[in-house]
Structures are given as structure tokens and as C-alpha cells.
Structure 1
């Protein structure tokens, strides 16, 4: 994984010196098996970051906890499965001109790559006595990456200074190693790259959530809840060219193995060099608010707003401003190992698309979302739900588009729960999820995939897995 961790942010075309983009809830194997549908299903610690009001619902577990749940997902809407496999297995294969053209086409699109890595080290929830509600705690590490490239960006990555837009304004090749004077007639980089977004966000968060029942009448029960999280920022890269404007900055911890070159000597550069795995380059505070409603014995409704707040990035901060297109020194890629080649293209010792600047700090909003859910719980044997999740902004780590999902849980026998459904949006196309969970009176273990068809699809490959083996629930509705 280390080459990918290093290259994705550096490949942020353009905001990161090389010498120098998500659905969520993959760490919850039950939610992954339903394609991300969770709002009305979440119990105990699972309500953290989803809908804290669920902690106040009647029938919640007396105690629930988990250790070491994890998940990973990788998907593309433009790369074919065969091309993706060539990049993995034949990455040293030299490219001919036809293959270069194929690669440019495959890298052009709004969702070239979506990557999620999630892990919950510990989740714990306790139902307080005397109707005082429920309290939950958790620690979760998350990384989300998104790559969307317009045809110019894809062409520049693959062909460097031989890209069509480069040849238009800089017809003579540059082999001197010295910067080519900027053509005063060249367009702004934001224009050339319009529609391009390359994003990565990695955080470690410590959560506390509380929910309480505020109305308990025959046929109607209402709970409300709130959550707070302290967030350590492990890294961010956020590059967006949209509608004639450019937004570009990064702050990456030493674990990403970035060499900032001469920028490290700038007095405005707050260098963080300690190579500890969770050495942070920023911190922030997030908040969740939610309400949950039960109508009769069957119907559940939920609504929440999550990830309100912001991050302040203070270490290894690099920014880039809009400017006229200048000739890069890169000759482009010559093998299928384009991710690593991207990192080599934007060396601070050579001329790249941007002029990089050091900064003391940068503030950025959290990836806020509105979550809406409705569900029917027939019994402990069958439950179905519908979720809609709407991103509130376009920052790194957020969904690239609204998500809609339909999910079901079914227990054919007392010791097995099957999960499936149908989901779409958020940059992942249409998914058919599947999950299986082994169930006892207090213990659960399971494995799931967000899209079982994605393993076999040649047009839009999607690989995902989530698993957990140490989940416990004591008391409450099973």
C-alpha cells in the first residue's frame, strides 16, 4: 500500500510537489452487506457518526462493543477490469502509442478512482439506567481518496509536455531541464483542468455520542441525540478545478513519505518529520445531531446531520494558486505503472503545472452530510430499510454525489443473518451488496462486500470487503 499512499496525494496533479478521492461505514460489516444502508438499523456503538438518536431508542443493548472491525473498497467507473489488472500485474510493460491513447481515455471521467479504508479499533456503548439514554464511545481511522480527471488532465498525466493542450501553447519540446518562459496567451490552469478533482483525506477520530428518549407514548416513540469527535489529521490533499476557480492544498504526515525539497526551508513551512504512524499534521472537532422515530411496532424513521465542524491543518501545509498554463518538464508515463509515474512528474526540481507555496496553516470544513432513513422491522428475523445520504460540501473525504440504498437483513436460522439490497450513487454506480453474519446470543462475526457483481464487471470494477470477528451485544432486542 505504501506506493499508493505516496502517489495518490502526489498525483494530485498538481498540488503536491513530488520531490516533495467516498461511501462511508466500510468498517461496519453489517452496513457494508446492505450496501451502506444503516440509519434505522444502527444499534449501540454503530450509531456513532450515523444517528446518535438511536442510542436512546427503547430496546437498545445494555452493553455492546467491538474490537478490530475493518473494511476496504476500491472502484472505478472508467477503468475496465482488464485494464485495471494490467496496471496491477503488468505495470512494467512499456506503452506504445495506441496504449497511451487507451490510457488517456480510461483516465478521463468524474470517477476514475474511489478508494476507502476504514478501521474501528474499539467501539463501546452502554444503556444508562432509569431511562437516562445511551452513551457510546469509539475510535476509528478513515482514509478516503477520489480521482476525477477531465481529458486535458488525463492527457497531461499520460503524455506530459506532449499532451495536446501543451503542444498548442508550447510546440517546441523542452529537454534543457530549464523552465520554459510562460506563454502569455496560455489559459489559466483552472480552465485547462476544469472538472478535475483529486482528493485524499486520512484521519483518526475519537468519538462520544449520547441519545435519549424524549417521547414514549403508545404507538409513537421519539429519541434525540448528539455526538462529538476529536479528530487527528493524518493527511489531506484537496485539488479541485471547477467553474473557472481553483482550490488546491495539501498537508501530509511523514507516513506518506513525502520529500518537500527546498520548500522545507521556507520559514512559513511548519515541518513535521517524526515518522510515527499516527503523527498528526492537523486537528479538528466534529459534531453530529440526530432524531429517531418509531411508529407502532414496525416502522422506524431517522434523520441526522453528521460531520459538522472543521479541521485546522498546521503541519507540512502546501498550497497552490491559479496561474497560466506553463510547460512541464515531464515526458509522461512510459509504462502501466502510471500511479508511481504521476508522482515523478511533479518534481519541485523541475517545472510543473503549479508554483508551490508553503503555508503555516489551512482551515477546511469536515465532509458534512445529511442522512435520512426509513425502515420496517417485522421481527428479529427480518428488517428492511431505505437510506438517502446527501453531501453538504465537496471537500476531500465526502461523497462525490448523493447516495440511495435499499437494504435487508434476514435470518433463515437463528445463528445466521444474511444481508443484501441495492444501492447507487456516491460515485460507485449501481451495487448489489451481500453479507453473512454468524450470530449467537451475545457474539457476532461476519464478512461482507458492498458489490459482489463488481468483482466480475469489466466496465466498472468494484472491489470491497468488510469483516469483524469480535462484536458483542448483551441485553436489548436481538
Structure 2
């Protein structure tokens, strides 16, 4: 019997790797709640430390003498859950409702259809501390921040979806081992069905003839499971490069030191090419999770709170940001930025698997969207008689950072309305990056000195669902204090029974300007 702690390890990692594994939009907006409220539009909007990772050139922009010299903030956050497979009610249940209702056979078939070739995403950005200083005269400005970034993205082909929800009873396997010890022909393998009673008795699916087994690259074609947890220490500078009567040009750069706390990278493209999965973590012991404790190894056993404050990173790296902003006749702005250029070097407890054949799976599959109440018997991903034999890798694993290019433009009308458009273009397929370009239109409306509203729309990124964000910001009359809240998609809360879902919140309550 596994300990409670080990079962928690398995459940959390199973959820990470199979259903909630990479990311949606916060890669394009970090922890900045106002950018979330505009649907990702921020290249020419953000200032002070909030420009880090978006456009560092804006740190040097000064509108007038009233602009604050110092800005600092604590615990600004942006968390988003999104799925093309299940609706908002189902996603809320998966996140918050710890019921134990089980899917019957028909419900499992429905779940397979929903998750086939559809994406599920989780993304979180938490800025632990941020600070910026606008220096005297025309020396520009500097900014510093510490931020945790967790990104997950999963898309499953029909075979992977079936394996998740049917487990050993997948139609892939011709033979089934039952709880009473009998070996039977799998009715699903020849187009038939199982009864609910039969499904409850299935223990393993396998091949009698190993020559009939297929490789991972063929059966998993089109499946992606990507996840990263990175802690960033950012420094950026922005300053004025040119000033004329009608045109000002600002430039900026940023450098970041990165601590890698977790990575999962699994990608099988449409040509059947198999990229060796990589798993490394500072918080979850890969020995317990991936090999069910069958391999002895050293692991950081300190309390979680101590590891969060002072982690022993599983990887390290450096990234660079560059940005330009053109201000034309004061009100028109055009910006371009290259963000997150660099790589991570993963060194701690790296596990991978080669392109082997899939010959056997134990377990009955996931029987509820609430993946956090699944147990080890649900699906045996590792260890003896498992689908995947993980091996510890020797040496280092270098992984590119999720590099993007942002292009944006905006126009401000009488300091009452500020509207703009952004395009964020991924430059690689690294874990944590957008899967395709994100197109966004949005802006701010400030009817009062102390209150402003944000909205817009976007499409692209990690799915093609139309999103309508909304946000509100309160600024103290003297401007020394600011608080804001926003969401990626207000429509999702009014269409609880649709075909997709987005649940998100971005907020800041400890932001001060002096």
C-alpha cells in the first residue's frame, strides 16, 4: 500500500501530465491585470515594472512631471484555466468539486470524443515583488521583479484520449486480463462494446503477439504534453533614443536569471516523429512519481514551504528582452519587442523515455473530470508492467525558452479612451509558448479620474475560441495607490453549458506609486 503522500504525488503529476499539461494567454501578459483586461494588448500600454517581459522600452517613457518616480508592488497574480474539450460547469467541477461520482461506459465514450484533438491549458503568473525607478533628467528608468511562471498545455489525439479514459480497456489491446484471472478477447478491439460490469473487472490490456505492438510515435501522433515552472529574477532598462517635435523613440532591454523548478516536454508531430519526453522537478520526486519508488535516489526532503522560499533548482538559464516604442505626435504609439530569448539548462534528476512499443497498460482509466481524486489504480503510467519505462538521463538537457515577438499600436483620445491592437507571434515550440499567433484588440476607458475600465477581444494563442475580457482599475486621487482586477473571458461565465471554457482572474491589491 502506497503512503498518502505518494498517492498525492501520483494524483498531482497524473493531472499535470495527462489533462492539464502548458498554457494559454498569460505567456503574453505576465502578471499584469490590465493587459488581461484588454485581451493581451499591452505592447504600447504598460509602464514601470509591469513592462518587464512585454516591452522594456516603455520603462523610459515619461508623459509629464506628475509621473511617479518610484513604483513598487507585491503579489500581483494572473491565473487562467481553459479547455476546448469541456464546458465551464465541467471545468469548475474538475477544479473544486471533490465528489466521487464515477463515469459509466457511455460517459467515458463521451469524454473520449470531447478530448480528441482538443487542448486543455493552465497558466499562472505570480509576481512576488516588483520595483521601478524613473531616473532624473533623461537617463531613463530601471525595473526589477521576481516572478513565478507556471505554464501547461495538452492536446491529445483520439488514441491518447481513449487511453486516458478507458485505460486497459482501450480498443488498441486485443486481450484483457480480468479481476478473476480470466483472459478474454477485447470486444472494443473488433468494434464491439463492454458492459459497465465488465469494465469494472478489467485489470490490464495486452498483446499475445509482441510483433503486433505499435510504437509510441505511431499511436501518439499529434499528442503534445508540455509544462514548465520557472522562477524569474528580472532586470530591465528603458530610455529615450530620439526626441523631435513630432517623434520620440524609446528603446529598452531586459535580462533575466531563471531557476527551473519543473519541466515536462512531450511532443509527437503529425509526421510521427518522436521527441523524447523530459521530466525534471524540484518539488515532486520523479523517482516516486515516474517509477513508483522502484529506484533508489536522493531527493530534497525539506518542507515544501522551505523549498518554495529557497529552492534547489532542477535547471538554470538566462533570457533577454529587447523593445522599441515610437511615439508620434504624443498620442499615436507603435511598439515592437522580442521577449524571452535564451535557453534553460536542466541538470537535476532528468528522466526520459525512448520510442518504444506499447504492449501493455494496467488500470481502468480516468473515471471523472475531477482528476485530483484519481488514485494509482486509475492508470499505471510507470513502474513494473507499465506503459512507459522511464530512465534517468546522464548529462544535461538544454531547452529553448518560449520566445515571442510582439507588435502593437495604440492611439489615445483626450486621455479618456486609449485603444490598441497587438499581435504576439511565437518563435519556437518550447514548453510554455503559444502554439500559434495571438491577435488582440482592446483598450481602456477612463470616465473618472479614479476609475478606468478595460475590455477587448482576442483569438488564437492556444485555441481558436473567441474571448471577451474585461477589467477594472481603481487609482487613488493622488495616484499613489492602485488596485485592479480582470478576467480573460466574461462570456464563459454566461455560457456554462457550451463546448469550451475559460476560468481566469488577474489582480493586484498592493501596488504603490510615489
Give per-residue Cα distances to partners, 1:335-367, cap 9 Å, x unaligned. 444455486523433333332110143111100
Q: What is the 5 A alignment of 1:56-455?
A: 56-59=60-63, 61-87=68-94, 88-89=96-97, 91-111=99-119, 113-167=120-174, 172=185, 183-242=210-269, 243-247=271-275, 248-255=277-284, 259-260=288-289, 271-275=299-303, 276-277=307-308, 279=311, 280-338=313-371, 341=374, 344-360=378-394, 361-428=396-463, 429-440=465-476, 441-455=479-493
**Alpha-carbon shift at residue 204 of structure 1 (Å):** 0.9
Deviates more, 1:226-235 or 1:270-279: 270-279
Q: 1:90/1:254 Cα in 2 relative to 1: closer, same or farther (>3 Å)?
A: closer
Give 3-state SS (helix, strand or coil) of 2:49's partner. Answer: helix
What's the offset of the Cα at 1:207?
0.2
Other-structure match for 2:181: none
Residue 18 of structure 1 aligns with which residue? Answer: none
Contact 1:6 1:256 survives alignment (8 Å):
no
Query: After superposition, what is the alpha-carbon deviation per residue over 1:133-164, rounded to whole angstroms, capped at 9, x for unaligned?
Result: 11110011111111111110000111112212
* Alignment of 1:461 onto 2:492: no
Whole-angstrom distance in 1 between the partners of 2:41 and 2:292: 45
Q: Do the aligned residues in 2 keep the contact of 1:235 with 1:251 (CA within 8 Å)?
A: yes
Structure 1 residue 61: Cα displacement: 4.0
Give the deviation of 1:63 after TM superposition. Answer: 1.8
Residue 98 of structure 1: how far off its partner (Å): 0.8
- Pick closer, same or farther for the CA change 1:13–1:131 going to 2, 3 Å: closer
Aligned CA-pair RMSD: 2.9
Q: Deviations over 1:365-417 (max 9, x none)?
A: 10000111101122432211111001111121111221111111111111101
2:4 is aligned to none
Residue by residue over 1:234-260, the C-alpha shift from the partner in whole angstroms, topping out at 9 and shown as x without a partner, is: 111111111211221111122578715
Q: Residue deviations 1:440-478, cap 9 Å, x none?
A: 22211111111111122222111111111121234xxxx
Q: In 1, distance between residues paired with 2:176 and 2:55? A: 53
Q: In the alignment, which residue of structure 1 is the partner of 2:48?
A: 44
Task: Name the CA distance, whole Å, in 2 between partners of 1:117 and 1:396.
Answer: 14
Secondary structure in 2 matching 1:11: helix
Say whether residues 1:23 and 2:52 are aligned partners: no
Asked if structure 1 preserves the Cα contact closer than 8 Å seen for 2:423 and 2:439, the reply is: yes
> Structure 1 length normalisation: TM-score?
0.89
Q: What number of residue pairs does the alignment pair up?
A: 466
The equivalent of 1:17 in structure 2 is: none
CA contact (8 A) 1:10 1:342 kept: no
1: CA distance, partners of 2:298 / 2:345? 13
Preserved contact between residue 12 and residue 239 of structure 1 (Cα < 8 Å) = no
- Aligned residues of 1:148 and 1:197 also touching (Cα < 8 A): yes
**Corresponding position of 2:180:** none
- Secondary structure in 2 aligned to 1:65? strand
